[in-house]
């Protein structure tokens, strides 16, 4: 977009639903998609006299995210009540964290156009989700589904360090991949597992930051990109026309591709935060924190960069592999099994090619497909050494999929797939092909050079796919040009 010399400043507040089995303050299941009001109890419905008890898994998950985002963890923190009225909030307050969040002062490195950029993380805190209002033409009024009440959330607040919608998208993608890697959320956008509020302001470089506008209701990452671009353009237009930006909250409408005023600063809600008296202080001992810290795997942003820098993968390949924990791990196993004898890019091609095709066709996991990394490495090595042709390679792969327990070398031997490089045998084949295809030979000599491809193909056919095409090509050229 044309920013007319303005710089766009973006900060994000990402809400991520955690995938704990039960809710944050009661033992109800927290899974998605259950029948309306079938996963709620007096506690998560906030009935009189009920009390919350904290699910400690929620704290562990939030702390893991804190470590993943390089935060310092507060060993002593508390929970607070955020008071407001809304029909989907049965207690009329949300239990959240106000002045002492679990995690603070971190950062996340994101990859934009092949370059790493560090985005500051202000804080991560835990809180409970609200229910859902249901409007439908089949009935008058509004109904409430309390299933989502008390589903655990972490809110990740970034510093205003993002400068474009592309950076915001990369940030959101990285957050999503990170929670999936940590196993703390399913990261499913379509089920509302990740939602974000966007703060946008614009200014001319060198001048102080402009007034920020908060945008709610951003339910998809692509919608967030459109929302940012729309809002930045709106602010720039207002300023260019001599207007001023007021601090306000706007609601993004992704269908209409525009936003509208939700409330101005004067109408800002006073949430009357105060410490939640029903819950004890959260105390985290050093040993437990260390345990959590040690459980953090290599994170996707770091893995992507390592695949690019150390294994020489193109960014797109690295990203695609890293998107799936399983594919990335499998790729690394193949490279390791190759013991430095295979090109990592070839391993990536097989994982993103043949293996991914089977995953898509069968819905199986890599483990279920059952092709061992060692076998695939062996196959790749044979291909790289031109011991078999690429079509023979495909045949071997199809055999491996049958999981007969036979290794590539055995399959090649059994099926006689080894590539023939014996020049005596090959010369005989080439001579026969040249003799049988006079027209093509003349075509080539007459300037139709693509006839060469046809002749190589005929040689391959005559060799039943086993002839080394490069050698036969050389032999053909010698005859044709000679």
Partner 1 sequence: MELYRLTAAELSRMMQKKEVSSVEVTRSVFDRIAKKEPEIEAYITLNEENALKKAAEVDEKRAKGESLSSLAGIPVGIKDNICVKGLPTTCASKMLANFVPPYNATVIEKLNASDCVYTGKLNMDEFAMGSSTETSFFKKTKNPFDTSRVPGGSSGGSAAAVASGEAIVALGSDTGGSIRQPASFCGVVGLKPTYGSVSRFGLVAFASSLDQIGPFGRSVEDVAMLYSAICGKDSYDTTTVRREYPRFEEKLTGQVSGLKIGIPDVYFGQGVSNEVREKVMEAAHRYEQMGATLVPVTLPNTDYALAAYYIIACAEASSNLARFDGVKYGYRTSNYSNLEEMYENTRSEGFGDEVKRRIMLGTYVLSSGYYDAYYKKAKFTQKLMQGMFHEAFQKADVILCPTAPDTAFTFGANSDDQVKMYMNDILTVTVNITGLPAISFPCGFDGKGLPIGCQLIGDKFSEQQLLSTAFAYEKAAGGFDLSRTLD
Interaction site with partner 1 (CB under 8 A): 42, 45-54, 81, 83, 85, 87, 90-93, 144, 270, 272-274, 277-280
The distance of closest approach from Cβ of residue 71 to partner 1 in the complex, given in angstroms and rounded to an integer, is 25
Q: Which helix (H) or strand (E) holds 282?
A: strand 282-283
Q: Of the two residues 56 and 398, which places its CB atom closer to partner 1 in the complex?
A: 56
CB closer to partner 1 out of 280 and 336 = 280
**Please, what is the minimum distance in Å from the beta carbon of residue 293 to partner 1?**
26
Least distance between partner 1 and beta carbon 125 (Å): 19
- Asked whether 418 and 391 are in contact (CB, 8 A), the reply is no
Going by the DSSP 8-state scheme, the letter that residue 4 receives in this structure is: T
- Report phi then psi at 73, rounded to 5: -100, 130
CB nearer partner 1, residue 43 or residue 245: 43
CA distance 427 to 352: 37
Q: Write down the least CB distance from residue 282 to partner 1, Å.
A: 11
Torsion of the alpha carbons at 45, 47, 53 and 58, rounded to the nearest 10:
20
Minimum Å gap between C-beta 12 and partner 1 is 24
Nearest Cα residue to 201 out of 479, 9, 445? 9
- Shortest distance, CB of residue 55 to partner 1, whole angstroms? 11
- E strands in 113-177: 115-128, 132-134, 143-145, 152-158
Query: Encoding tokens for residue 20?
Result: 């704990």
Backbone phi, then psi, for 41, in 5-degree steps? -140, 175
- Token readout for 56 is 């400690």
Q: Which is nearer to partner 1, 20 or 193 (CB)?
A: 20
Comparison of 93 and 230: residue with beta carbon closer to partner 1: 93
Tokens encoding 363: 């819905």
- CB distance 344 to 352 below 8 Å: no
**Please, which residue, 209 or 274, has the CB nearer to partner 1?**
274
């Amino acid at each position: 977009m044309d920013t007319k010399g303005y710089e766009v400043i973006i900060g994000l507040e990402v809400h991520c639903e955690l995938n704990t089995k039960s809710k944050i303050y009661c033992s109800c299941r927290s899974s998605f998609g259950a029948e309306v009001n079938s996963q709620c109890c007096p506690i998560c419905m906030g009935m009189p006299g009920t009390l919350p008890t904290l699910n400690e898994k929620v704290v562990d998950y939030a702390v893991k995210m804190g470590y993943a985002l390089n935060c310092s963890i507060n060993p002593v923190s508390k929970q607070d009540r955020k008071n407001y009225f809304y029909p989907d909030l049965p207690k009329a307050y949300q239990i959240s964290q106000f002045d002492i969040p679990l995690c603070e002062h971190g950062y996340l490195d994101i990859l934009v156009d092949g370059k790493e950029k560090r985005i500051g993380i202000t804080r991560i805190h835990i809180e409970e989700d609200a229910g859902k209002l249901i409007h439908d033409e089949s009935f008058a009024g509004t109904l409430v589904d309390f299933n989502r009440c008390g589903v655990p959330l972490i809110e990740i607040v970034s510093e205003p360090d993002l400068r474009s919608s592309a950076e915001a998208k990369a940030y959101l993608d990285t957050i999503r991949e990170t929670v999936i890697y940590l196993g703390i959320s399913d990261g499913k956008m379509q089920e509302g597992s990740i939602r974000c509020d966007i703060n946008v302001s614009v200014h001319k470089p060198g001048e102080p930051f402009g007034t920020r506008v908060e945008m709610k209701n951003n339910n998809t990452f692509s919608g967030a990109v459109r929302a940012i671009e729309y809002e930045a353009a709106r602010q720039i237009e207002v300023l260019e026309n001599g207007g001023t930006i007021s601090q306000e909250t706007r609601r993004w409408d992704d269908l209409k591709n525009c936003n509208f005023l939700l409330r101005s600063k004067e109408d800002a809600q006073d949430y009357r935060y105060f410490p939640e008296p029903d819950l004890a202080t959260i105390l985290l001992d050093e040993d437990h924190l260390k345990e959590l810290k040690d459980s953090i795997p290599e994170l996707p942003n770091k893995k992507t960069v390592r695949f690019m820098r150390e294994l020489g993968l193109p960014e797109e390949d690295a990203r695609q592999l890293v998107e799936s924990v399983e594919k990335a791990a499998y790729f690394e196993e193949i490279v390791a099994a190759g013991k430095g004898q295979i090109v990592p890019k070839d391993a990536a091609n097989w994982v993103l090619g043949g293996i991914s095709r089977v995953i898509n066709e069968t819905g199986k996991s890599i483990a279920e497909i059952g092709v061992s990394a060692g076998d695939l490495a062996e196959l790749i090595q044979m291909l790289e050494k031109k011991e078999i042709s690429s079509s023979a390679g495909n045949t071997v792969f199809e055999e491996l999929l049958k999981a007969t327990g036979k290794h590539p070398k055995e399959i090649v031997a059994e099926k006689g797939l080894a590539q023939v490089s014996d020049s005596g045998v090959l010369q005989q084949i080439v001579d026969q092909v040249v003799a049988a295809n006079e027209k093509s030979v003349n075509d080539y000599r007459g300037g139709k050079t693509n006839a060469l491809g046809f002749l190589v193909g005929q040689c391959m056919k005559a060799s039943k796919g086993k002839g080394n095409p490069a050698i036969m090509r050389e032999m053909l050229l010698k005859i044709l040009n000679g």
